[in-house]
């Protein structure tokens, strides 16, 4: 790593006029330090380059130069050697919105925008109070659901069986959080309780659900849950699935929150008790606001997982964005371009999850710097 090159001295000149050592040229210096600092490092660089040269040109050719971007004719795509991105343009409506009536798609776009703004608001510390977040989420759920249902103000009524695509993914996701998060807090508090029966029930519940795959819980929601109800009573399948996912989410989140609760000093409880506050006041006003901040990065990581987990409904046939895409791609004319459609859906998931994971890292930095938020 040490500079070994000796500065060349221009003949006859003073030392001051000597040109800088070659490493001072920023690019070369960067290359030296980051790519070829040791023989081993140079070899690594070489292997990486060979790998890139082997794969990258072929991939770029497929994805860009030989690809078809716009066409409504599947034969054009078949004739081309590369990717058929045109499939996204051709099929994006049913991919993103399922079998929801075509003319009513604007309603879905508004619904998705409302969801995204609710999520963005929730991420900003200045809006963190029960008085803002609770009404905001109630508004979000009620407004978007009524918008999608319709049946008022001249809006056509659309049955839930026709809901699909990205809005359904959003409903699954936000429903999971809205039901799952309070449940997670209750489970975490229950597990910390000094009443042995309460504690035991919470421990068994959390640990047994964490031990099984999400699929089996969805199977229970779809196949077994109807058997639990008396004859004649039925719940919407979507609701059952959301509740199943929420319970699954809550069990993981409860463990994260428990970690946060354990990090709060005993003095906080004592001071609040000495002021005469009761259990729920102490928890809601004093302990939880601090505990949730401490474990926020972990919470966000499980929220990302919850978003990705919405895709599990492919197995039980609810039309989220992935199921809708899979169904659309049954079209024999476009079928062989399923890969491109999946890559597009993957990009949607990626953008959302990547943004959230960056947010989680930001929060982690706030915490480590002791920033107030």
Partner 1 sequence: METKNKTDESIFYSNAFRSVAYQAVLFGLLTLLGWYLYSNVNENLARQGIATGWNFLTTSSGFDIGESVIRYDAGDTYGRALLVGFLNTLRVAVLGIVLATFLGVFMGVARVSSNWLLSTIASWYVEICRNVPVVLHVIFWGTVIHLLPAPKQAIIPFEGAFIMNRGVVMPFPVANDAYVWVGVALLVGIIGVVVLNKWAQRKRERTGEYIPTLWKGLGVLIAPPLLVWLAFGAPLVWDVPSLQGFNFKGGLQFSPELIALLVGITFYTGAFIAEIVRSGIQSVASGQIEAARALGLRPGFIMRYVTMPQALRVIVPPTTSQYLSLTKNSSLGVLIGYPDLVNIGNTTLNQTGQSVEAIAVMMMVYLSISIVISICMNIYNRVAAIKER
Partner 2 sequence: MSDQSTAEPVIQLVNLNKWYGDFQALCDVNITINRGERVVVCGPSGSGKSTMIRCINRLEHHQKGEIIVDNIELTDNLKNIEAVRSEVGMVFQSFNLFPHMRVIDNLTLAPMLVRKMPKADAEEIAMQYLERVQIPEQAYKYPGQLSGGQQQRVAIARSLCMQPRIMLFDEPTSALDPEMIKEVLDVMVELADDGMTMIVVTHEMGFAKTVADTMVFMDKGEIVEIASPDVFFTKPKSERTQLFLNQILTH
- Measured from the CB atom, the residue of 58 and 289 that comes closer to partner 2 is 289
- At 85, list the tokens: 């991105």
Report how far residue 256's alpha carbon sits from residue 34's, in angstroms, rounded to the nearest whole number: 38
301 interacts with partner 2 by CB under 8 A: no
Q: CA-based Rg of the chain, rounded to a whole angstrom?
A: 28
Residue selected from 210, 281, 285, 365 as contacting partner 1 according to rule CB under 8 A:
210
Residue selected from 8, 66, 270, 333 as contacting partner 2 according to rule CB under 8 A:
270
Report how far residue 315's alpha carbon sits from residue 325's, in angstroms, rounded to the nearest whole number: 13
For partner 2 (CB under 8 A), the number of binding residues is: 19
Contact 270, 287 (CB under 8 A): no
- Measured from the CB atom, the residue of 211 and 267 that comes closer to partner 2 is 267
Stretch of 2-10, 116-124, 218-226, 234-242 lying at the interface with partner 1 (CB under 8 A): 218-226
Identify the helix (H) or strand (E) that includes residue 196.
helix 196-210
290 interacts with partner 2 by CB under 8 A: yes
Report how far residue 302's alpha carbon sits from residue 249's, in angstroms, rounded to the nearest whole number: 7
Judged by beta carbon distances under 5 to 8 A according to partner kind, the member of partner 1, partner 2, none in contact with residue 211 is: partner 1
- Measured from the CB atom, the residue of 148 and 241 that comes closer to partner 1 is 241
Q: Shortest CA distance to 249 belongs to which of 174, 161, 169?
A: 174
Residue selected from 308, 317, 361, 365 as contacting partner 1 according to rule CB under 8 A:
308
Q: CB-based contacts of 20: which residues, under 8 Å, 6+ apart?
A: 7
Q: Residue 9: left (phi > 0), alpha (psi -120 to 50), or beta?
A: beta
193 interacts with partner 2 by CB under 8 A: no
Residue selected from 63, 110, 186, 201 as contacting partner 1 according to rule CB under 8 A:
201
276 interacts with partner 2 by CB under 8 A: yes
By residue count, the chain amounts to 373
- At 144, list the tokens: 């978007």
29 interacts with partner 1 by CB under 8 A: no
256 burial level (CB within 10 Å; 0-12, 13-18, 19+): buried
Judged by beta carbon distances under 5 to 8 A according to partner kind, the member of partner 2, partner 1, none in contact with residue 204 is: none
Residue selected from 41, 143, 160, 268 as contacting partner 2 according to rule CB under 8 A:
268
Helix axes 130-149, 105-123, angle to 10 degrees: 170
- Measured from the CB atom, the residue of 110 and 294 that comes closer to partner 2 is 294
Count the Cβ atoms, other than its own, within 10 Å of residue 55: 10
Can you tell me which residue has the tokens 């930001």?
362
275 interacts with partner 2 by CB under 8 A: yes
41 interacts with partner 1 by CB under 8 A: yes
Residues that bind partner 1 (CB under 8 A): 34-35, 37, 41, 44-45, 48-49, 52, 194-198, 201, 208, 210-216, 219-220, 223-224, 226-231, 304, 308-312, 314-315, 322, 326, 336, 338-339, 342-343, 345-346, 349-350, 353-354, 357
């Amino acid at each position: 790593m040490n500079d070994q090159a000796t500065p060349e001295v221009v003949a006859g000149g003073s030392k001051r006029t000597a040109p800088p050592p070659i490493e001072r040229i920023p690019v070369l210096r960067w290359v030296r330090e980051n790519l070829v600092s040791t023989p081993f490092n140079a070899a690594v660089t070489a292997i990486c380059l060979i790998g890139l040269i082997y794969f990258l040109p072929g991939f770029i050719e497929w994805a860009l130069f030989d690809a078809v971007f716009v066409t409504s004719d599947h034969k054009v795509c078949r004739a081309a050697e590369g990717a058929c991105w045109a499939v996204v343009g051709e099929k994006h409506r049913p991919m993103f919105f399922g079998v929801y009536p075509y003319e009513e798609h604007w309603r879905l776009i508004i619904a998705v925008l409302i969801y995204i703004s609710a999520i963005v608001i929730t991420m900003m510390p200045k809006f963190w109070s029960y008085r803002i977040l609770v009404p905001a989420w109630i508004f979000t759920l009620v407004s978007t659901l009524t918008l999608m249902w319709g049946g008022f103000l001249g809006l056509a009524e659309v049955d839930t069986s026709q809901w699909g695509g990205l809005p359904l993914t959003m409903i699954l996701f936000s429903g999971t959080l809205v039901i799952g998060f309070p449940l997670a807090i209750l489970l975490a508090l229950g597990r910390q309780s000094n009443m042995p029966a309460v504690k035991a029930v919470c421990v068994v519940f959390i640990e047994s659900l964490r031990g099984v795959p999400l699929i089996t819980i969805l199977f229970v929601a779809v196949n077994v849950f109807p058997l639990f109800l008396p004859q004649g009573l039925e719940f919407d399948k979507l609701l059952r699935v959301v509740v199943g996912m929420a319970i699954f989410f809550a069990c993981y989140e409860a463990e994260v929150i428990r970690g946060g609760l354990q990090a709060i000093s005993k003095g906080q409880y004592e001071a609040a008790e000495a002021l005469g506050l009761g259990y729920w006041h102490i928890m809601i006003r004093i302990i939880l606001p601090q505990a949730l901040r401490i474990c926020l990065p972990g919470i966000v990581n499980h929220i990302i997982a919850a978003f990705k987990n919405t895709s599990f409904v492919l197995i039980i046939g609810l039309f989220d964005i992935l199921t809708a895409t899979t169904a659309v791609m049954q079209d024999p004319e476009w079928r062989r371009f399923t890969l491109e459609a999946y890559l597009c859906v993957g990009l949607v998931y990626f953008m959302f999850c990547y943004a959230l994971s960056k947010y989680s890292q930001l929060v982690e930095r706030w915490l480590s710097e002791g920033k107030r938020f």
